[in-house]
Amino acid sequence: MIFDNDKGFFGASKSVRSPRPPYVFLRVGEVVMERKGHMIGVVVSWDAELRAPPEWINRMHSNSE
């Protein structure tokens, strides 16, 4: 992973997240495709709310595109 960490970013938390809340609509193991870049990936984990480093959030949610 790009951001291997001990802060629980990107679904890396060690706490059990079960059952999956209804608003988390993707399941672990599902194959997904990004709309803009057409990149394909697999869901390996999830968080109930965004947990990522501030610099990653700023890059992903910038208005420069």
Q: Is the pTM of this model over 0.75?
A: no
**Phi/psi of residue 11, each to 5°?**
75, 15
Q: Provide the pLDDT for residue 5.
A: 61
pLDDT tens string 10-41: 776 677 777 888 888 888 899 999 888 789 99
CA distance 24 to 48: 7
CA distance 49 to 36: 23
CA distance 53 to 9: 7
CA distance 49 to 23: 10
